[in-house]
Chain A
Amino acid sequence: MENITKRFGNVVANDAVDFDASPGEIHCLLGENGAGKSTLMRILFGLCRADSGFIYVNGEPATISCPRDAIALGIGMVHQHFMLAERLTVAENIIAGSEPRRHGLLDYERARQKIAEVSQRYGLAVNPDAMVEEISVGQQQRVEILKALMRGARVLILDEPTAVLTPPEVDELFSVMRALRASGTTIIFITHKLKETMEISDRVTVLRDGRTVGVEKTSDATSDGLVEMMVGRSLPIHDDHRAPAQDIISLELKDVSVAGRKGSRARLSSVNLAVRRGEILGIAGVDGNGQLELEEVATGLRRPSQGKLIINGQDVTGFDTKRIRDKGVAYIPSDRLKRGMVSPFSLARNSVLGMQHSAHFSTRGVLQEDVVREHAESIVDLYDVRAESIDQPIGSLSGGNQQKLVVGRELTRPHSVVIAAQPTRGLDVGATHYIREQILASRNRGKAVLLISAELDEILELSDRIAVIYEGQIIDVRRAGQYTERELGLLMTGQRNGV
Chain B
Amino acid sequence: MSGFADIVLNVNNLAATIRMATPIALAAMGGAFSERSGVVNIGIEGMMLTGAFCGVLGSYFTGSPWLGVLWAVAGGGLVGALLAVFAIRLKADHVVTGVGINILASGATTWLMQVIWKRKGASDLVSGLGTWSVPGLRDIPVLGTILGTHSPLVYISFMLIVLGWVLMFKTPLGLRMRMTGEHPEAADTVGINVHATQYFCVILSGCLAGLGGAYLSLAQLNWFSKDMSAGRGYMALAACIFGGWNPIGGLGASFLFSFTDAIQMRMQTAQIPLAVEIIQMIPYVLTILILAGAVVRSRPPAALGKHYESGHGKK
Residues of A within 8 A of B (CB): 42, 45-49, 51, 65-68, 71, 77, 79, 82-88, 92-93, 95-99, 101, 104-106, 147, 151
B interface with A by C-beta (< 8 Å): 166, 170-172, 174-176, 178-179, 182-183, 185-192, 299, 302, 310-312, 315
B166 to chain A, nearest CB (A): 7
- Expressed in whole angstroms, the minimum distance between the Cβ of A499 and any Cβ of chain B is 39
Given contacts A49-B315, A68-B191, whether A84 and B183 have CB atoms under 8 Å apart is yes
Q: Which of B183, B191, B312 contacts A85 (CB 8 A)?
A: B183
**CB contact between A67 and one of B172, B178, B191, B299 (< 8 Å): that residue:** B191
A277 to B172, CA, bound (A): 63
Asked if residues A97 and B182 are in contact (CB atoms below 8 Å), the reply is no
A48-B172 contact in complex given A85-B186, A96-B187, C-beta closer than 8 Å: no
* A residues less than 8 Å from B183 (CB atoms): 83-86
Per the bound structure, the CA–CA distance linking A84 and B182 in Å amounts to 9
B303 to A, closest residue via Cβ: A85
**23 sampled A-B residue pairs with Cβ under 8 A:** A42-B311, A48-B311, A49-B311, A49-B312, A49-B315, A66-B191, A68-B191, A77-B189, A79-B189, A83-B189, A83-B190, A85-B183, A88-B175, A92-B179, A96-B176, A96-B186, A97-B176, A97-B179, A97-B190, A99-B172, A105-B166, A105-B171, A106-B171
Given the complex of chains A and B, what is the CA–CA distance between A455 and B20 in angstroms? 61
> Mostly helix, strand, loop or mixed at chain A's interface?
loop
Closest Cβ–Cβ distance, residue B313 to chain A (whole Å): 8
Nearest B-chain residue to A72, judged by Cβ: B191
Bound: A152/B170 CA distance, A: 24
In angstroms, Cα B158 to Cα A38, docked, is: 50
- Please tell me if the beta carbons of B191 and A86 are within 8 angstroms of each other in the complex: no
Complex Cα spacing A258 to B258, Å: 47
Task: Tell me the nearest residue of chain B to A101, going by C-beta.
Answer: B172
Find out whether the CB atom of B175 lies under 8 angstroms from the CB atom of A84.
no
Contacts between chains A and B (CB distance < 8 A), count:
86
Rounded to whole angstroms, the CA-CA distance of A103 and B172 in the bound complex is 11
Query: Which one of A42, A68, A84, A151 contacts B186 once the chains associate, using CB atoms below 8 Å?
Result: A84
Interface of B is mostly: helix
Q: Which residues of A contact B311 (CB under 8 A)?
A: 42, 47-49
A96 to B185, CA, bound (A): 13
* Extra inter-chain contacts (13) besides given A45-B189, A86-B183, CB under 8 Å: A47-B311, A48-B311, A49-B311, A71-B191, A83-B190, A84-B186, A85-B302, A87-B182, A87-B299, A88-B175, A88-B179, A96-B175, A97-B190
* B171 x A85 contact (CB < 8 A): no
Assess whether B187 is in contact with A88, with CB atoms less than 8 Å apart.
no
- For the complex formed, measure the closest distance between the CB of A170 and the CB atoms of chain B, giving whole angstroms: 24
Across the interface, which residues of A come within 8 angstroms of B192, CB to CB? 96-97
Asked if residues A106 and B312 are in contact (CB atoms below 8 Å), the reply is no
Q: Residues of B contacting A96 with CB < 8 Å?
A: 175-176, 179, 186-187, 190, 192
In angstroms, Cα B179 to Cα A99, docked, is 13
Closest to A71 in B: B191
Closest beta carbon of chain B to A36's beta carbon, Å: 15
Contacts of B166 in A (CB 8 A): 105
A88 near B178: Cβ-Cβ < 8 Å: yes
Docked-complex contact B175 and A92, CB < 8 angstroms: yes
Name A151's closest neighbour in chain B (CB-CB).
B190
Across the interface, do A67 and B179 meet the contact criterion of CB distance under 8 Å? no
6 tightest A-B CB contacts, nearest first: A97-B190, A85-B182, A68-B191, A83-B186, A99-B172, A48-B311
Which of B302, B310, B311, B312 has the most C-beta atoms of chain A within 10 angstroms of its own C-beta?
Answer: B312
- In this complex, the member of A68, A71, A85, A151 whose beta carbon has the largest number of chain B beta carbons within 10 angstroms is A85
A396-B59 Cα distance, complex, nearest whole Å: 61
B302→A65 contact, CB < 8 A: no
Whether A85 lies near B179 (C-beta < 8 A) is yes
By a CB distance below 8 angstroms, the chain A residues around B190 are: 67, 71, 83, 96-98, 147, 151
Q: State how many angstroms separate the Cβ of B179 from the closest Cβ of chain A.
A: 5
Q: How far apart sit A419 and B190, CA to CA, in the bound complex (Å)?
A: 43
- A48 & B175 in contact (Cβ 8 Å cutoff): no
- Tell which of A79, A84, A105 has the most Cβ of chain B within 10 Å: A105
For B191, the closest partner residue in chain A by CB is A68
CA–CA, A82 to B170, complex, Å? 25
Residues on A with beta carbons closer than 8 Å to the beta carbon of B312: 46-49, 65-67
